[in-house]
């Protein structure tokens, strides 16, 4: 790691340096584990006490604290910490043209120098890879696929033929982009495969997690919009579109033709039934199941999906169903002693 | 693409050609994007208006329309469209014997010519691969595995030792067939691994999605029946059996010893508790959880699984639990003013 | 398989041999399929009748049966069967130093002889691999990773840089250990990646299933404790810790910073919301969703998670919600005829 002064880092994140700006910083760390060459941060002032107990060389804060430790004051300490962290730990890309001797590159593939291909990488016919892109061990780029610049494909990521990937895209290990959508026509008792002849487009600055799968469209395009982030073990079905700057946490699935707007966030284990739309700026909590469109921005949760505050009440009742049943039984009994109705509507 | 006339395509799908059968077709397409060398289809007559607006060269329909565009009239336009699509875009198989120089093939493996092995493929001892089978980059065929004819194994698919795979099977990228079942005996506080010494049998015409996992049996066989289709990120536990012509959509899981009949369809995100049976011709909707046998054909849905129409009502009530609670509270209150019961059965 | 006598096997599992101890056994099998050189077992005496009908050479039982078949009597027949099974079918490890010529090993990687590396394996700079460890075809060991002794990495497992793995660890095909956690800071409309600079530690005797993913910590360590077993398609988020001797069945996910105690078992399809703790010895049934801490050992189930017996009642009511609604409606109607309240609290 190259050391850099607190003052330089403050400038790097458009922050204000308070205290000794000449202190040299080599890494980011949690304040509780930080040493004198580390910089930490406090998300907000509730955690300010951590600073006094820390051995960190500097700290990023929202507003200046009355401590001796050098500080960088910025509106968003978490963002500044992420930026500084990335400066010390950049996502690996290709800085020199370096094709491992075991990499197999089709003679008509076009690599824009520099590109780094690790061991046992395979690049298919007519594929294009932009400069700065690094493919880890065993990555497979299919025929005619186009990968942009400064991308990072971790080991064993597979890009099917014809897929188009933008710049600065990260694919984690085992991610599969462009596999066939799940489409069959039923012919009597048998399934006839509907050829999946569309493609996948992954726009700039997208990150896709380990062992996630993004299916190609039946006809047309499955699209992941610029800046969207998809976590591990997520399935995106054929012909889905995800807008820009979305975040989709792990272990989730979108059935075919789900259309997600911009800036939509989804917690983990969210499942969508397909053929539906989610409005821009919707925030969908974890463990939700979507059966219909989400028409307005806002916070949503539940199964079936509801406005979040409503689901909290539903969940409360769900947790008390045995008591609710007992109550209704008692009401029925007490009614029985008041009135002469018979034949209860149901035997609960 | 080789062009073919509408008349020839009509014959290919056992349909009737209406209009100019000499028009040459080169591809299938969505009617809205189709050009003059494309053929499209309308699923049913509700969409007939699309035909008038389309630039397609021909269309597949259920019954002849009063339009100038050449038509192929068949009972099942979707099936015909799939068949014609596959004719233009066949699943890639091996037409010439072509072993990539980086492929590693055990000396006693038996390849029935022609077989195509891509870069960095590994074929273990005593494995057999039938003619016409294509293994994409990095596919691993374990010791003693048998792969049938005309199969397509996409990059990085892994077939564990001893697995038996039929003809025309498709494994998508990252699919794993034959991994150990999850079985341990508890010895005090420790888990002792139960060796998983059974196998997996994948019958003819099965397709398995990207990053899906099919575990070998503890003892005996995990079996996927002829013609069944399994989507991405599906887990099939040890000793499961899936019958013929089933379809299992993505992001689903069958715990060990689940036995699925023939022609069963499952929507996405269906989970089965294991050690249970599902009858032939059951149709299980997405997001269902199976805790017990499904004894009759029919449509099912829900958590726990119920006949579909019943679950629709349950879901309706589930969505209105807060109102139900409020109602019961009011009933209790009103009862309180009528009678002198105390000690409500429960504090809801 | 090397044959071994029943008497020797009895000694191997600290059991008592009853009957002819000289019978030679070559394999384990299900009693119903077993032949004269196989040994089977009965889990408990309810299944004793199976023994009389079996052609097995010997059987493992809890207490001696009045049969002619040689028996091994032990307190835990299932554990003894697993141990004997593993003796006949040991998990493959390296017995000879054998680096496949296509394996790519960094010049400064340290391999403690014997190590077996299959075709197209990649071992990064400064990585260390302990003696007895076997890496199947296409395994990738990242820079600086440390793998212990007698481990088995099945084909295509990926170990990210810096990961630490203990002894006798099994990674199944496609498992990914050390991928980036899902962490971003929101900067206006854009997501800024929070560098994931922690690591993963996998302790001794852990087994991880096919295509499972274990994310590295943001800062610090994601840890899987000694002896814990994780099934296929499980996602473990960044900074999670799993204690010792846990079992986590397939198709499950722990969101970031979930802390699981020792000897916790989880059924399949369990999802945890993250930032919570689960007490030692908790047993969590399948299809459960954790939103909060589990503070006591015991059996739990449900969504949201509840003590198991309570959830059984909840599930019963859940299955009868339509009847419950009908009942409440009838009560409301009957109340209407008794009292003069209007404006029902809700329109259910």
Percent of chain A with pLDDT over 90: 87
Report whether C281 contacts C297 (CB < 8 A).
yes
- Residue position matching structure tokens 């089709």: A106
Query: A109 near A127, Cβ under 8 Å?
Result: yes
Averaged pLDDT, A93-98? 98
B335 confidence band (pLDDT: 50, 70, 90): confident
Decide: helix, strand or coil at residue A338: helix
The token duo for A256 is 């075919």
Q: Could you tell me how far CA A62 lies from the centroid of its own chain?
A: 26
**Given C100, C238, C259, C269, which residue is catalytic?**
C238
What tens digit of pLDDT does each residue of C97-155 get?
Answer: 999 999 999 999 999 999 999 999 999 999 999 999 999 999 999 999 999 999 999 99
Q: What is the pLDDT of residue C2?
A: 76
Report the pLDDT value the prediction gives residue C224, as an integer from 0 to 100. 98
Chain centroid, CA C258 distance in Å:
17
Burial class from Cβ neighbours inside 10 Å (0-12, 13-18, 19+) for residue C188 reads: exposed
How far, in Å, CA of B227 to CA of B245, rounded? 5
Question: Does the CB of B250 have a partner CB in chain A at under 8 Å?
Answer: yes
Question: Which pLDDT does position C332 carry in this prediction?
Answer: 85
pLDDT at residue C339 greater than cutoff 90: no
Q: What is the ipTM for the molecules in this complex?
A: 0.94
C52: enclosing H helix or E strand: helix C49-53
What pLDDT does residue C346 have? 44
Q: Nearest Cα to C259, choosing from C224, C285, C226, C227?
A: C224
Do A302 and A318 meet the contact criterion of CB atoms below 8 Å apart?
Answer: no
The torsion angles phi and psi of B196, rounded to 5 degrees, stand at: -100, 95
The per-residue pLDDT of chain A, averaged, comes to 94
Cβ-proximal residues to A203 (8 Å cutoff; 6+ apart), any chain: A166, A223, A224, A225, A226, A227, A228, A244
- Six token digits for residue C66: 């009045």
Residue A304, beta-bridge partner list: none
**B192–C347 CB contact, under 8 Å:** no
As to burial, measured by CB atoms within 10 angstroms (0-12 exposed, 13-18 middle, 19+ buried), residue C341 is middle
- Asked if residue B209 lies in contact with residue B234, where contact means CB atoms within 8 angstroms, the answer is yes
How much of chain A, in percent, has pLDDT values that exceed 70? 96
Residue from B172, B199, B235, B238 carrying the catalytic annotation: B238
- Dihedral sign from CA coordinates of B18, B23, B26, B30: negative
Determine whether A238 is an active site residue: yes
Q: 3-state SS string over A255-301?
A: CCCEEECCCCEECCCCEECCCEEECCCEEECCCCEECCCECCCEEEE
pLDDT of A338 higher than 90: no
CA–CA separation, A178 vs A199, rounded Å?
6
| Mean per-residue pLDDT, A74-84 | 97
Integer-rounded Cα radius of gyration of chain B: 27
Is pLDDT of C89 > 60? yes
Put simply, whether A215 touches B (Cβ < 8 Å) is: yes
Do the strands B176-179 and B170-171 form a parallel or antiparallel pair, or are they unpaired?
A: unpaired
User: In this structure, are residues C241 and C248 in contact, taking their beta carbons and an 8 Å threshold?
Assistant: no
- What's the pLDDT tens digit per position in A137-187? 999 999 999 999 999 999 999 999 999 999 999 999 999 999 999 999 999
Q: What is the DSSP string of C183-215?
A: -EEEETTEEEEPP---EEEE-TT-EE-TT-EEE
Dihedral sign for Cα atoms in the order C330, C333, C338, C339: positive
DSSP string across B155-198: TT-EE-TT-EE-SS-EE-TT-EEEEPP--EEEETTEEEE-----
Provide the 10 A C-beta neighbour count for residue B16. 13
pLDDT band per the 50, 70, 90 thresholds, residue C336: low
Q: What is the mean pLDDT of chain B?
A: 94
Give A46's strand partners: none
Place of tokens 């009045």: C66
pLDDT at residue B135 is higher than 70: yes
Alpha carbon separation from C327 to A322, B302, C102, C322, C323 (Å, rounded): 15, 22, 72, 9, 6
Give chains near B: 3+ CB pairs under 8 A. Answer: A, C
DSSP secondary structure letters along C69-132: S-EEE-S-HHHHHHHHHHHHSPPP--SS-EE-TT-EE-TT-EE-SS-EE-TT-EE-TT-EE-TT
- Which of B160, B219, B338 minimises the CB distance to C339? B338
> Could you give phi then psi for residue A86, rounded to 5 degrees?
-65, -30
* Cβ distance of B325 and A330 shorter than 8 Å: no
Nearest to C255 by CA among C271, C277, C242: C271
pLDDT tens for residues B93-119? 999 999 999 999 999 999 999 999 999
Average pLDDT over residues A201-214: 98
pLDDT at B340: 43
Give the pLDDT confidence score for residue C57 in this predicted structure. Answer: 97
Does pLDDT of B347 surpass 90? no
Which of A122, A179, A329 shows the shortest C-beta gap to B209?
A: A179
B256-299 tens-digit pLDDT: 999 999 999 999 999 999 999 999 999 999 999 999 999 999 99
The pLDDT of residue B336 is: 65
**C179 vs A33: CB contact, 8 Å cut-off?**
no
- Span C40-49, pLDDT tens digits: 999 878 888 8
A102–B102: do the CB atoms touch at under 8 Å? yes
Residue C155 CA to residue C161 CA, distance in Å, equals 18
Nearest to C30 by CA among C22, C39, C19: C39
pLDDT for the residue A342: 44
**In this complex, is the C-beta atom of B274 within 8 Å of any C-beta atom belonging to chain C?**
yes
Nearest to C327 among A227, A229, A332 (CB): A332
Residue B133 has pLDDT above 90, yes or no: yes
Distance, in Å, from the CA atom of B170 to the CA atom of B133, rounded to the nearest integer, reads: 10
Please check the confidence at residue C342 and state whether its pLDDT lies above 80: no
Q: pLDDT tens, B174-216?
A: 999 999 999 999 999 999 999 999 999 999 999 999 999 999 9
Q: Give the number of A-C residue pairs with CB atoms closer than 8 Å.
A: 212
Instruction: Calculate ∠ Cα B36-B37-B43, nearest 5°.
Output: 85
**B12 has a chain A CB within 8 A of its CB:** no
Option in C28, C156, C227 nearest B190 (CB): C227
User: Would you say residue A345 has pLDDT above 80?
Assistant: no
Q: Flag if A184 and B229 touch (Cβ within 8 Å).
A: yes
Q: What is the mean pLDDT of residues B43-65?
A: 91
Q: How far apart are CA B150 and CA B135, in angstroms?
A: 10
Pairing mode, if any, of strands A306-307 and C98-99?
Answer: unpaired
What is the Cα–Cα distance from A214 to A288, expressed in whole angstroms? 20
Taking an 8 Å cut-off on Cβ atoms, the answer to whether C346 and B338 are in contact is: no
Q: pLDDT of A10-49, one tens digit each? A: 999 999 999 999 999 999 999 999 999 999 999 878 888 8
More confident residue, A52 or B9: B9
Cβ distance B51 to B42 under 8 Å? Answer: yes
- H or E element that contains A73: strand A71-73
Write phi, then psi, for B325 (nearest 5 degrees).
-60, -45
Extract the tokens encoding C195: 């560098």
Alpha carbon distance B308, B331 (integer Å): 31
Q: What is the pLDDT of residues C225-278, one digit of tens each?
A: 999 999 999 999 999 999 999 999 999 999 999 999 999 999 999 999 999 999
Q: Which of B58, B76, B75 is nearest to B67 (CA)?
A: B58
Q: How confident is the model at residue B1 (pLDDT cuts 50, 70, 90)?
A: low
Please say if the pLDDT value at position B346 is more than 60.
Answer: no
Task: Look over chain C and give the mean of its residue pLDDT values, rounded to a whole number.
Answer: 94
* Residue C215 clears pLDDT 90, i.e. is over it: yes
Shortest distance, CA B244 to any CA of chain C (angstroms): 24
Q: Predicted confidence band at A1 (pLDDT cuts at 50, 70, 90)?
A: low
Active-site hit among A238, A259, A275, A343: A238
User: Distance (Å, rounded) from C-alpha A237 to C-alpha A258?
Assistant: 8
How buried is B46 (Cβ within 10 angstroms: 0-12 exposed, 13-18 middle, 19+ buried)?
exposed
Phi/psi for C171 (5° steps) reads -115, 125
pLDDT score, position C3: 86
- Residues B215, B197 contacting (CB under 8 angstroms): no
Q: Are strands C184-187 and C190-193 parallel, antiparallel or unpaired?
A: antiparallel
Report the pLDDT value the prediction gives residue C1, as an integer from 0 to 100: 57
Residues A193/B207, Cβ–Cβ less than 8 Å: yes
**What residue has token string 């941060």?**
A41
**Beta-carbon neighbour count of residue A243 at 10 Å?**
22
- What integer is the mean pLDDT of C329-335? 85
């Amino acid at each position: 790691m190259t050391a850099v002064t607190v003052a330089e880092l403050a400038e790097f994140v458009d922050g204000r340096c308070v205290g000794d700006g000449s202190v040299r910083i080599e890494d980011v760390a949690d304040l509780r584990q930080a040493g004198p060459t580390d910089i930490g941060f406090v998300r907000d002032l509730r955690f300010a006490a951590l600073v006094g107990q820390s051995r960190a060389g500097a700290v990023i804060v929202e507003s200046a604290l009355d401590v001796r430790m050098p500080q960088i004051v910025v509106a968003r300490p978490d963002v500044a910490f992420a930026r500084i962290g990335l400066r010390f730990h950049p996502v690996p890309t290709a800085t020199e043209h370096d094709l491992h001797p075991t990499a197999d590159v089709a003679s008509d593939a076009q690599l824009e120098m520099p590109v780094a291909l690790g061991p046992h990488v395979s690049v298919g016919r007519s594929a294009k890879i932009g400069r700065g892109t690094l493919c880890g061990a065993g990555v497979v780029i299919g025929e005619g696929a186009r990968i942009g610049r400064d991308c990072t494909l971790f080991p064993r990521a597979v890009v099917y033929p014809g897929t188009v990937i933008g710049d600065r895209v990260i694919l984690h290990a085992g991610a599969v982009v462009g596999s066939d959508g799940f489409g069959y026509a039923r012919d009597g008792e048998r399934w006839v495969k509907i050829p999946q002849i569309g493609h996948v487009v992954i726009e700039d600055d997208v990150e896709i997690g380990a062992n996630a799968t993004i299916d190609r469209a039946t006809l047309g395009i499955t699209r992941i919009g610029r800046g969207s982030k998809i976590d591990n073990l997520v399935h995106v079905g054929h012909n889905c579109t995800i807008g820009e700057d979305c975040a989709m946490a792990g272990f989730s699935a979108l059935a075919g033709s789900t259309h997600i707007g911009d800036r939509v966030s989804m917690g983990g284990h969210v499942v969508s039934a397909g053929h539906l739309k989610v409005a821009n700026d919707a925030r969908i909590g974890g463990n939700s199941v979507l059966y219909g469109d989400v028409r307005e921005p806002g916070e949503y949760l539940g199964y079936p999906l509801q406005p979040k505050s409503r689901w909290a009440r539903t969940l409360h009742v769900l947790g008390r169903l045995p008591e609710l049943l007992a109550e209704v039984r008692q009401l029925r009994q007490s009614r029985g002693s008041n009135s002469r109705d018979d034949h209860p509507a149901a035997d609960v």
